[in-house]
Amino acid sequence: MEAGDVFLHLWQKRNLESENGANGGPGDKTEALRFNLVQLYYLKMASSDIDDLAVLSKSRQLLQEYGDLIDGTQEEGGLNNYAEPILALVGNSKNESKEWKCGLQAQDVVRKYLTSDTKDSNPLEEEYNKLADLLNKAEDTPPPPPPPAVVESKVQPRMRQRVSGPQQDSINTYPSFTLMESDDVLLENTEVRVPPGIPVTNGSRRDEMEDWGMMGTSGGPGTRGRAQGRPYPWNRTGRGQVTSMSTGDRSQTTAIQDSRSYRGGGGSGGGGWRGSVGGRSGGDWRGRSGGGYNRNTDSHSGYGYSDNGWREEDIHEIPNGRPTTYKPRTRGGQERNQWSRRGNEEEELRSAFNTGPNPCFKTASHQMVLEQQKKFGRGGMTEAAYGSGKRSLGVRRSVNTKFVPPVRRDDEDEYGGELMRRCMPQASGKGRGVDEESPYAYLMTDDRLKNIDIKMVELIMNEIMDNGLSVTWDDIAGLNLAKTTIQEIVVWPMLRPDIFTGLRGPPKGLLLFGPPGTGKTMIGKCIAAQSGSTFFSISASSLTSKWVGEGEKMVRAMFAVARCHQPAVIFIDEIDSLLTQRSDTEHESSRRIKTEFLVQLDGATTESEERLLMVGATNRPQELDEAARRRLVKKLYIPLPEEKARQQIIDKLLSNQSHSLGESEVQQVCQQTNGYSGADMANLCREAALGPIRSINFADIHHISVDQVRPITVEDFIKALSIIKPSVSDRDLQLYEDWNVKYGISAR
C-alpha cells in the first residue's frame, strides 16, 4: 500500500467518526436515521391514531436519506467511501458486498486535503511538516547503545510505528504523515509500503505531540466525565469544543469527540476525535495520564488528536520480527526519537522497511487472511470473518445492536457447533476429511451425496423411523379404501418393483388429508412397518433453519439421502406448514425451501425407476400450494371413523382391560359417538377406564390390589361421554368433504 492509500484510510476513518458540524458524520447520521425508522415503527405500533399515510411517507423519506447516505458517491456522503477496512474483511466472503467498491481515490483525497492552493494555512500540512522536521533531526542523532535487557510489554503488543517522509508535494510523497497509535486499528488492516527514502520511526511521542498540539485542544466543560455507550447526535452529552480546520479551499468544522472517550477531563476537555478509539480499546488506553487525554493546554487549531497513550516502557516489534525497544525522548529533548534494538543497527531497520515489493511488515488483516488460508485452503475466509458478532439468547435487538448476518458460520450449527465439530473436523481446522467417528461417514463415499454437508446427512439419518414398528393394517380401524389404495401404490410397488414399471409405475407423492385424529400418522407408521422401505419421518421443523439458505440445502439433503436408501418413503406430517401457498409477502427463505421441495418432487429430478415415495399428511389441504397439490398425485381422504370403525377401536382398546360391556352396550356407546374421531374415541375409552379408579376410596388407593379394581362398565362410558366431546366441527367436516370431492381419489 502506498503512502497515499494510508492517508486515504486515515481520512476515511476520521471522517466516518468525526462530526461534521451539527449533523454528525455519516456513520452517526446513518445510525440516527436507523434509530428514527425504528422509533417511527414503534410509535405506529403503539398508537393506532397515527395516520398510516403519514408514517408511510415519513418512512419513505427516511429510507431515501438512508439510501443516499449508504450509496452516495460524494466524498463525505456515501458510507461506501469509508468501507475499505470492512471490505478487506468481507472481501473473501461470498457476499454481495464483494461488488461494493469505495468511490474515493487516494490521490484525490491527498490532493484535496494535503496540498493547499490557498493562502490559508493547512493544519494537516503544518502538522506533517513539523513531524518531518522532527524526524529529520532525529536522523542526525547517533544511535544510543543497546539497552541491557528487554522488558516485556504488558500492554500493547501490537506494532506501533510512525512513518514520515520529506516535505514534497507529489501524491505518494506528500509532506509527511503520521500513523498515530490510535490508528492501530487501521494499521492492522493495512499493509504499509513506505517509499524508499522515507525515514521510519517508532515509539511513543507523547510530549512531541503536545508540542505539535496533537493532543487535543481545550474542550468545553461538557468533556468532563465519561459517558457509557455510543450516544446519538441529538443526545450526546458533554460534547467537546468544536474547532475549525481549514483544509485548502474548504473549511471543515470538526466537532471534538463526545465525552464517551474521556475520563475526567477537567476544564480542558478536548482530546480530539481519536479519543473514541481509546474509548473502545478499553482500560489500557484510558486515564494513564491521570487527567485522561486532556493534558494539552495548547489551543492549537486543527485536529485535536488524542494522546496516543504509548507507554515509555512499551516494547515494539520491528517490522522484520525482531524485538526492539523505543526509548522516548525526555523532556530535555536529548534522547528524542531514538531506537534501540538488540544487535542491529538502525540502518538495517530502515532497509527492512524499504524492501519494496516484499515488505516484511504484515498487517493483522493480512495475517488473518493467511491464517484463514492455512485453515481452509485458498478459499480463504468464510462467513466466520463476516458474522463474528457475538450471539446472545433472548436479547432483543436494539438500534445499537451489532448487525449479525443470518448466514451460518462454518463452525456453527443449530447445536452450537457440536455436531459440526463432530462431523466436520475441517471446520475446526483439523483437516478436510470426514470424521471417521461419524456413524454416517460410510455414506459420504456415495456420489449422490458429494455436494451434501455431512452434518445434514446426519440430521436426516436421525429422522429415519425404526422399521421394527409394530403397527399393522389391522390396528387401523375402518379406512378400508385408504388401506387398499395405499397397499396398491406403496406396498406392492416397493415389494415388486419389476411389475410396477412404466404405466404401472407408482406415483411419487401421496397426500393423506382429513380431520385431526383420524389415523393419518398411524397410516404413516404402518407404511413404515409394512412396506419394507426405509421410512423417513420428517417434521417441518427439522427442515427449517434459522440460517438463510440452510432450509433448502436440508431439503436437498433429505432427498439425496433417501435416494441412497431406496426403497424409501419420506413421510411429512403437517405438510401444510412447509408447502403453503406461495405469496408475495412471505419470506424469501421459506419460498426457497418450497421451490426446492417442488423441484425435488418433480419428475425432472426424480428418475422413474427410483423407488421413492413422498407421503404428506395434513389437516388443512386447502392451504397447500397448487404446485405441491399437483405433485402429490394421490390425495386420500382419511375421514372420521364410521360406527363400525368406532366399534373396532373400542373393542381393540378394551381388549386388554377388564370390562363388563357386552356387544350391544358397545354398540350403544358407538351410536352416541357419531362425529368422534379415532383420537376422540381413544380419549373416551381412557376417560371411561378411569371410572373404576374414581370409585375407589382415597384411603384405599395405597393398598388395593389390581384385581380388586372393578371392571369398566357402560355407565363409565356414559359418564365419559359427557366429558369427551367430538373435536371436529360440522363446518370443518364439510370443508374436507368438499375438498375431497374436488381433488380426492376416494370420491370415485
Ligand X SMILES: Nc1ncnc2c1ncn2[C@@H]1O[C@H](COP(=O)(O)OP(=O)(O)OP(=O)(O)O)[C@@H](O)[C@H]1O
Which one, 57 or 674, has the nearer CB to ligand X?
674
**Piece in contact with ligand X (CB under 6 A), picked from 102-110, 186-194, 344-352, 476-484:** 476-484
What letter represents residue 657's amino acid? Answer: Q
The residue from 89, 477, 598, 689 that contacts ligand X (CB under 6 A) is 477
Exposed e or buried b per residue across 167-204, where buried means at least 16 C-beta atoms within 10 angstroms of its C-beta: eeeebbbbbbbbbbbbbbbbbbbbebbbeeebbbbbbb
| Bridge-based pairing state of the strands 19-20 and 162-163 | unpaired
Number of H helices, E strands in the chain: 27, 14
- Supply the minimum distance, in Å, between the C-beta of residue 735 and ligand X: 14
Which one, 262 or 676, has the nearer CB to ligand X?
676
**Piece in contact with ligand X (CB under 6 A), picked from 40-48, 182-190, 206-214, 470-478:** 470-478
Site for ligand X in 658-717 (CB under 6 A): 678-679, 682
For residue 649, state whether it binds ligand X (rule: CB under 6 A): yes
What Cα–Cα distance (Å) separates residue 476 from each residue in 171, 471, 488, 569? Answer: 85, 8, 17, 19
Which one, 391 or 686, has the nearer CB to ligand X?
686
Is the Cα torsion angle 273, 279, 281, 285 positive or negative in sign?
Answer: positive
Compute the half-sphere exposure of residue 274: CA atoms within 13 Å on the CB side of its CA: 27
User: Rounded to an integer, what distance in angstroms lies between the CA atom of residue 374 and that of residue 379?
Assistant: 10
Among 306, 309, 275, 85, CA closest to 186:
85
For residue 639, state whether it binds ligand X (rule: CB under 6 A): no
What Cα–Cα distance (Å) separates residue 37 from each residue in 17, 33, 61, 79, 321? Answer: 21, 6, 10, 18, 49
The residue from 478, 616, 621, 639 that contacts ligand X (CB under 6 A) is 478
Site for ligand X in 501-520 (CB under 6 A): 516-520
The residue from 10, 62, 434, 479 that contacts ligand X (CB under 6 A) is 479
Element (H or E) spanning 13, and its range? Answer: helix 3-17
For residue 522, state whether it binds ligand X (rule: CB under 6 A): yes
Binding mask 591-630 for ligand X (x = CB under 6 A): --------------------------x-x-----------
Contact (Cβ atoms closer than 8 angstroms) between residue 81 and residue 30 = no
Kindly list the strands in the beta sheet with 464-465, ordered across the sheet, starting from the edge strand earlier in the chain: 464-465, 534-538, 568-572, 612-618, 509-513, 634-637
Which one, 206 or 520, has the nearer CB to ligand X?
520
In this chain, which residue has its C-beta nearest to ligand X?
A: 678
**Piece in contact with ligand X (CB under 6 A), picked from 134-142, 306-314, 377-385, 472-480:** 472-480
For residue 409, state whether it binds ligand X (rule: CB under 6 A): no
Site for ligand X in 546-575 (CB under 6 A): 573
How crowded is residue 10: how many other Cβ atoms within 10 Å of its Cβ? 21
Which one, 2 or 642, has the nearer CB to ligand X?
642
Which one, 111 or 483, has the nearer CB to ligand X?
483
Which one, 23 or 480, has the nearer CB to ligand X?
480
**Piece in contact with ligand X (CB under 6 A), picked from 50-58, 453-461, 477-485, 543-551:** 477-485
For residue 726, state whether it binds ligand X (rule: CB under 6 A): no
Spatial CB neighbours of 284, under 8 Å, sequence gap ≥ 6:
155, 156, 309
Is the Cα torsion angle 144, 146, 147, 152 positive or negative in sign?
Answer: positive
Which one, 202 or 648, has the nearer CB to ligand X?
648
Interface residues with ligand X (CB under 6 A)?
A: 476-479, 516-522, 573, 617, 619, 641, 649, 678-679, 682
